[in-house]
Structure 1
Amino acid sequence: MNAEIVAVGSELLLGQIDNTNATYLSRQLNNLGVNVYHHTVVGDNEERLYKVLETALNRSDLVITTGGLGPTKDDLTKETLAQLLSRNLVYDKITEERIIEYFKQRSRTMTENNRKQALVIEGSKIIDNHHGLACGMLMTYENKKVMMLPGPPKELIPMFENECIPLLNRQLSNSSFIQSRVLRFFDIGESQLVDIIDDLLETQTNPTIAPLASDGEVTLRLTVKGENEGQNEQKLDDLQDKVVERLEPYFYGTGNDTLSKSVSDLLRIMDYSLSSAESLTGGSFSTELTSLDGASNFFKGGFITYTNEQKHELLGISNELLNKYGAISHECAEALAKQVRLQTGSNVGLSFTGVAGPKEAEGKQPGLVYVGLSTEDELVSYELRLAGSRSNIRERSVKYGLYYLLQWLRKEMKKVDE
């Protein structure tokens, strides 16, 4: 079954909201073994919508529309589709009663345009909406399937997961499964990564490998298609082993893993504590860690030492060091990491100091960053030369700090295992 997703709404074309529904639906359909060949976005215009739907029905087995089912005049999806299919719109009594009850419970008057949401295309199967007013619909037209879903993700997602997936499973005539796995890498460019696994890319058939670069990271999506889910998973395992064997220093997780989650998992496993001293990042590192559930189990706290005075007063960094080497230096980064570790009694101290820009500081160019790491047995700092905007330099500094910390934690884990 080949599918097309048609998102309806001028706000999507204007960039006022992102088309997250299409991304979500593509992932879900992929898991069901349905090929998604087209994404289309069309505004609230009856003529253009008609042509888009006509094209979709001519080239796809399954057409899923999102949006345009609301009560206002610019909600045109079901009216336009009914015209295209030469079918009438009729009131669905159950949906209408639910809408009436909704307004009654809230002591509000239901207007005629709200009643419009109970109109459905004749002959369609109603898909209940338990999180909103507009019901979904599924219909057959000349051996094609058309599914209509509401636009708000808070309504679409539960409707699709609870109502639509069972419906689609019954419609599918084959038992093939498409399964994917995402591998995540840091501190390596896409071109370098691709070069290292070039032979795997050249010979790929099933599973396949697709690289994608974003936000200073690189991901690989492994995809396999087959009739046995267990065998599919084994194929993904085997391919992942081959890829990670070559890229192990840069590999940090799978799926929705983040660098901060990978770090926090190892800190918990090893029962290690962490603290931080931040200058140019201004608390971003602490924010990243404390956004995780249970962060208090491993993160003792952080200091924002944005000025030299605060570096001296809060963490005791000597004026002699600051005058001799400057705040933007290996020496300062190491002193900050050591002092924050000692003052908080943590196993690990991490520090960030540098120039985020846009102007230079201490005669040093924006993008020069030092990350310090201190443990009982080790004191080290890393120099970074980052490009981009002020916010981008700060964000990437935090990621590099997490990456260096992850590398150290993995090294410690190997010592324990040995």
Structure 2
Amino acid sequence: MKAEIIAVGTELLLGQIVNSNAQFLSQELAALGIDVFFQTVVGDNSSRLQQAIEIARSRADVILFTGGIGPTEDDLTKDALAASLGRSLHIDQLAMDHVQRFFDERKIVMTENNRKQALIIDGTTPLPNETGLAVGLALADGGKYYIVLPGPPREMKPMFTGQAKPWLQQHALTGEMPIYSKMLKFAGIGESLLEDKLIDLIRNQSDPTIAPYAKEGEVTVRISTKAPSEREAMQKLEVLEKTIQEILPEHMYANIDVPLEQLIVDWMADAGLTVSAAESCTGGLLMESITNIPGSASMFLGGIVCYSNDMKKKLLNVPSALLEGPDAPGAVSREVAEVLADQVRMIADSDFGLSVTGVAGPGYSERKPVGLVFIGLAERGRPTEVYELNLKGTRENIRLRTVKSLLYRLWRRLEERKVDTPLEGSALQ
């Protein structure tokens, strides 16, 4: 069964708000076994909206609308759909009572245009709005299924979950199997290289399916299958997951949708391990990524943003000979990254010390190119390791990729230590 989502609102076309509703609905529909093939955004114009409805009807079985059902003149969704289907509109009394009660309880005079929020199309099932005023609706007509939902996510999401979803299951999904998915998370590898490693699986996929996609510094692979039950689906998915993990054992860190920093925080907190950090070009981004995770207070002892050479010398005891002079390697160097990691670990008395020094751009520094970064990893009782990165992209991209690279190196070190209490669902099990 195929679906199309039509988001209504000129503010969406102008970029004044982001269409987060489409993401939510696509995920919910996929879980029901309904494939979303198209997403359409239409402004507040009746003729263009009716054109979008006609196009959607020609290529989709389920058509969902979000937005355009409020009290103002430019709220046209129900009118356009009624016109397209050749049906009339009428006031739903229960919905009208709900709207009137809202104003009565607040001792506010209700303007006449608010009656519009109680309109439904003849022959439809009203979808009560538990968090707002405008009633939604569900309708089967000519072998097609129509769902009309409000635009604000705080109204749309509970209406879909509590009202529209059960209606679809009862009326449209009598023969459909749900889709089950697992999210496999990878770090320390780019999307193109990961795809190259998995190319035989991707080219020969049928069921389950494989879909890789990337964010900055991380890659996710979604594996999906349709099955009558979750147990049968998981049996198929686990076979494919094991095959993928065997191909990329050094990069797959979880089979649940969590960021790498959350996994690290949970592992270290459970194992009683601690970490500190010294950052130059990332300016505290590494520390922010760690401390954004609940529970990080038990494993992150603190850090220093040492942007200038003076701060490197005064707070982290970096020798002047490394920073200044014709023969000095300079602040952006392997030697300085090593000292920073060692010193911050010793000052904090932590199990691990992390360091970053580099050129994030946009200009050169110390005659060194943008994207040259050194990251250090110190561990109590082990030699400190430094890794050279040569990154491309904007200043923001370089800073974020640097942080992800350092977190990846820390995760690999934790793997070597064989932490006894990994996060449930992690690739360490």
Q: TM-score, normalised by structure 2?
A: 0.93
Residues 206-215 or 41-50, more deviating? 206-215
Matched, 1:379 2:384: yes
Letter in 2 for 1:346: S
Task: Tell me if the contact between 2:269 and 2:295 (Cα under 8 Å) persists in the aligned partners.
Answer: no
Residues 264-273 or 407-416, more deviating? 407-416
**What is the CA distance between 1:88 and its match in structure 2?**
1.7
Task: Tell me if the contact between 2:271 and 2:419 (Cα under 8 Å) persists in the aligned partners.
Answer: no
1:159–1:415 distance in 2 versus 1, CA, 3 Å:
closer
Structure-2 residue corresponding to 1:352: 356
**What is the CA distance between 1:163 and its match in structure 2?**
2.0
Structure-1 residue corresponding to 2:236: 235
Q: TM-score, normalised by structure 1?
A: 0.95
**What is the CA distance between 1:44 and its match in structure 2?**
1.2
CA deviation map 1:70-117 (0-9, x unaligned) = 111111100111111222211122222222222333343322222211
**What is the CA distance between 1:63 and its match in structure 2?**
1.0
Letter in 2 for 1:292: I
1:415–1:287 distance in 2 versus 1, CA, 3 Å:
closer
Residue correspondence of structure 1 range 206-245 to structure 2 within 5 A: 206-245=207-246
**What is the CA distance between 1:228 and its match in structure 2?**
2.6
Quick one: distance in 1 between partners of 2:65 and 2:106? 30
Residue correspondence of structure 1 range 259-338 to structure 2 within 5 A: 259-323=260-324, 324-338=328-342
Task: Tell me if the contact between 2:267 and 2:419 (Cα under 8 Å) persists in the aligned partners.
Answer: no
Matched, 1:41 2:45: no
- Structure 2 runs not aligned, ≥5 long: 422-427
| Residue aligned with 1:378, SS | strand
Quick one: distance in 1 between partners of 2:108 and 2:331? 63
| Residue aligned with 1:249, SS | coil
Determine which of 395, 417, 423 is the counterpart of 1:412: 417
**What is the CA distance between 1:415 and its match in structure 2?**
9.7
Quick one: distance in 2 between partners of 1:314 and 1:42? 57
Matched, 1:141 2:145: no
Structure-2 residue corresponding to 1:388: 393
- Structure 1 runs not aligned, ≥5 long: none
**What is the CA distance between 1:257 and its match in structure 2?**
1.2
Letter in 1 for 2:201: L
Matched, 1:398 2:397: no
Structure-2 residue corresponding to 1:361: 365
Quick one: distance in 1 between partners of 2:390 and 2:90? 65
Structure-1 residue corresponding to 2:24: 24
Structure-2 residue corresponding to 1:201: 202
**What is the CA distance between 1:175 and its match in structure 2?**
5.0
CA deviation map 1:155-195 (0-9, x unaligned) = 11122122222222212112512111222222323332222
CA deviation map 1:103-153 (0-9, x unaligned) = 333343322222211111122111111111112110121232111011111
**What is the CA distance between 1:265 and its match in structure 2?**
2.2
Matched, 1:71 2:74: no
* Higher relative contact order, structure no. (Cα contacts within 8 Å, ≥ 6 residues apart): 2
1:175–1:52 distance in 2 versus 1, CA, 3 Å:
closer
CA deviation map 1:210-245 (0-9, x unaligned) = 222332432222111122321111111110110111
Letter in 1 for 2:170: R
How many pairs does the alignment contain?
417
**What is the CA distance between 1:255 and its match in structure 2?**
4.0
**What is the CA distance between 1:414 and its match in structure 2?**
6.8
Quick one: distance in 2 between partners of 1:187 and 1:373? 15
Letter in 2 for 1:411: E
Quick one: distance in 2 between partners of 1:389 and 1:191? 20
Letter in 2 for 1:8: V
Task: Tell me if the contact between 2:3 and 2:37 (Cα under 8 Å) persists in the aligned partners.
Answer: yes
Residues 319-328 or 233-242, more deviating? 319-328
Letter in 2 for 1:189: G
Quick one: distance in 2 between partners of 1:235 and 1:86? 46
Quick one: distance in 2 between partners of 1:263 and 1:280? 22
CA deviation map 1:288-339 (0-9, x unaligned) = 1111111101111111111111111112222233233211111111111111
State percent identity of aligned pairs: 44
Residues 290-299 or 256-265, more deviating? 256-265
| Residue aligned with 2:250, SS | helix
Quick one: distance in 1 between partners of 2:420 and 2:13? 54
Quick one: distance in 2 between partners of 1:98 and 1:334? 66
Matched, 1:185 2:186: yes
> Where in structure 1 do 4 or more consecutive aligned residues deviate above 6 Å?
414-417
| Residue aligned with 2:175, SS | coil
Residues 168-177 or 224-233, more deviating? 168-177
